[in-house]
Chain A
């Protein structure tokens, strides 16, 4: 029951990531539609992969499958492919790409970042069957990361200078520099 709840949480967060990054789909073009569909697929298959890993932790090797019926071999091959493909990574890339296809909306991007981090933490807890307390040492990092996200959103929300100036680049460099400075300054 506990495992089912975890799978449900991972699935809901994955779907939330895809929906938050993808919707609304207007002005994103055909590429946006394809990326959105792929992101939903990755979210669903990511949960299916978790369930498959738990249900069949030790899949037989190719040599052991030699004498199995063809249907069983196809089924096992499908399961191994499902487990081998990194669906969550694909979902992350697609979600960030979908967000970039939209026009500038800093607060929306910040929420996506928070949901993505929640998704990654939940996914790791489900995979390793651990409790949330294993992330207690990283709490300062997460708080600092959230603060940096807020800072970046604030920087992005500021009105840019006249077109053609380097103000956009300046904001980007400032944000990256803030992240690097925070990483170096943290007493880890």
Chain B
């Protein structure tokens, strides 16, 4: 948490609705008194007049506002809070603070809760909220209402809260898609080659220079000559995630772009936790990429690229093929796309021709098409034609050897990827 204040904010006071109603009662009572010459109406106006007479000057013209918002990135669905403190209104009465949240988050409790200080002049107000969508966005505004002691005048102050970064909620993934041939970098996936791993691969005859601790004595006894255990080498995989956010259809929060970034985040986190090298290509209005690397810093770089709209990449229109720098030989390419952008489909064909093992996770969820009775037949026909086009695209990719699996955004990614996580995917 970092304080964003204190800032001096000028305030203007005006009559409350309560004061206006008291004034109405007083004036109405006095007017009727004079018109009808009935003294009891002066008595009717008396309490209102006395309450209005209590109004005094000397209210503060400036208050100090301090704001604390989370500076560390949040995650979708993670409860968080902003803190607001109003000082300098000692001569005023009660302070009310209300969070007017932007649509991308849910305000937990609209009325603020005093968390420290205690007095009416020095307390912090807690504004809980839950971010519902990834991105760098403003929390909203805080409406501060200051009342004078007599509830006759009030001042309303609107303060914009700063932006916060919210990472996408990572999709669940327990297993991993692993290639049969891995580049010669030390890692945690057993490869087919013999090496210094822990997974037993077989035995062979001892030759001078071998480590004696690896002698397999039972096999030596059976065969009559020294036998040595051999193990699979352990290699790191290079995984490149291709996130297609060039088209975004569907309901906010469940759109194709939302599903693509959540899937990309989940897979990036999973593979980086397994000490693989992971890179990312963001295919939106611009093409941005991060070359594969390992480590926590790479996780942060990937999440940063996913979350923030970068202006440094190349416009998609001028990019004829995906960047070579982000696609080292032997990499596994996992694509998250609704496959609505034909430029990307062509790029995938190019990838396959270059020999990359590629898997497409289809994030398109076809909405139900409604319509009036008069137009329903036409809408149904258009939907069928569109579906056939989409099926043709997916069929053509499968024919090229690019598997396309559909993900609904709710279940674990293990489910659609199950056919490819059971055994290593053969690559050239």
**A residues bordering B, Cβ < 8 Å?**
57-58, 86, 88-89, 92-93, 96-97, 99-100, 104, 106, 109-110, 112-113, 116-117, 120, 123-124, 127-130, 134-135, 137-138, 141-142, 144-146, 148-153, 155-156, 168-169, 171-172, 174-176, 178-179, 182-183, 186, 188
- Give Cα A142 to B50, complex, Å: 8
Contacting pair B41 A89 (CB below 8 A): no
Measured in the bound complex, the distance between the Cα atoms of B24 and A150 in whole Å is 21
- In the complex, what's the smallest C-beta–C-beta distance from A151 to chain B, in angstroms? 7
Identify the 8 closest CB pairs spanning chains A and B, nearest first: A152-B43, A145-B47, A175-B42, A113-B44, A148-B46, A149-B43, A124-B18, A183-B53
Contact (Cβ within 8 A) B46 A179 = yes
A-B residue pairs in contact (CB < 8 Å), sample of 25: A86-B17, A92-B28, A96-B25, A96-B44, A109-B41, A113-B43, A113-B44, A116-B44, A117-B47, A124-B21, A127-B17, A129-B111, A137-B149, A145-B50, A145-B51, A148-B50, A152-B41, A152-B46, A153-B40, A156-B40, A172-B33, A178-B42, A179-B45, A183-B49, A183-B53
Of the listed residues B42, B48, B100, the one surrounded by the most CB atoms of chain A closer than 10 A to its CB is: B42
Instruction: Decide: B42 and A172 in contact? CB cutoff 8 A.
Output: yes
Contacts of B150 in A (CB 8 A): 137-138
Indicate if B20 sits at the interface (CB-CB under 8 A). yes
Chain A residues within 8 Å of B30, by CB: 176
Partner of B33 from A89, A130, A148, A175 at Cβ < 8 Å: A175
Closest to A183 in B: B53
Inter-chain CA distance A155–B25, complex, in Å, is 20
- Which B residues are in CB contact (< 8 Å) with A134? 93-94, 147, 151
Is the CB–CB distance between B25 and A116 below 8 Å? yes
- Interface pair B50/A186, CB less than 8 Å apart: yes
> Which one of B18, B24, B29, B46 lies within 8 Å of A182 (CB-CB)?
B46
- Please, which residues of chain A bring their CB within 8 A of the CB of B47? 113, 117, 141-142, 145-146, 148-149
Complex: how many Å from CA A93 to CA B28?
6
Tell me whether B22 is interfacial, beta carbon within 8 Å: yes
A117 partner residues in chain B, CB cutoff 8 A: 25, 47-48
In the docked arrangement, what's the CA distance between A145 and B49, Å?
A: 8
* B43 touching A175, Cβ below 8 Å: yes
A64 to chain B, nearest CB (A): 12
**Inter-chain contact B44/A142, CB cutoff 8 Å:** no
Q: A99 to B31, alpha carbons, bound, how many Å?
A: 13
How far apart are the CA atoms of A130 and B93 in the complex, in Å? 12
* B21 touches which of A123, A129, A182 (Cβ 8 Å): A123
Closest to B53 in A: A183
Residue-wise interface mask of B (26-38) relative to A, using a CB-CB cutoff of 8 A (1 in contact, 0 not): 0011101111111
Question: By DSSP majority rule, is chain A's interface helix, strand, loop, or mixed?
Answer: helix
A130 nearest in chain B by CB position = B94
User: CA–CA, A109 to B28, complex, Å?
Assistant: 13
Closest CB in chain B relative to A174 CB, distance in Å: 7
Q: Main SS of the interface on chain B?
A: helix
Min Cβ gap B237→A in Å is 49
Q: Output the least CB separation between B47 and chain A (Å).
A: 3
Residues on A with C-beta less than 8 A from B41 are 96, 99-100, 109, 152
Judged by a CB distance under 8 angstroms, whether B310 is at the interface is no
11 additional A-B residue pairs with CB within 8 Å, beyond A86-B21, A124-B21, A156-B43: A100-B36, A113-B46, A135-B151, A142-B51, A149-B44, A155-B40, A156-B40, A172-B42, A179-B50, A183-B53, A186-B50
Contacts of B21 in A (CB 8 A): 86, 88-89, 92, 120, 123-124
Do the beta carbons of B43 and A110 come within 8 Å of each other? yes
Instruction: Provide the residues of chain B in CB contact with A116, threshold 8 Å.
Output: 25, 44
Q: Taking the complex as formed, is B388 at the interface, i.e. its CB lies under 8 A from any CB of chain A?
A: no
Bitwise interface map of B from 402 to 428 toward A, beta carbon under 8 Å scored 1, else 0: 000000000000000000000000000
CA–CA, A75 and B351, complex, Å: 54
CB-CB under 8 A for A172 and B38, given A113-B47, A120-B18, A141-B50:
yes
- Distance to closest chain A CB from B144 (angstroms): 13
Q: How far is the CA of A23 from the CA of B326 in the complex (A)?
A: 85
Instruction: Tell me, in angstroms, the Cα distance from A176 to B30 when the chains sit together.
Output: 8
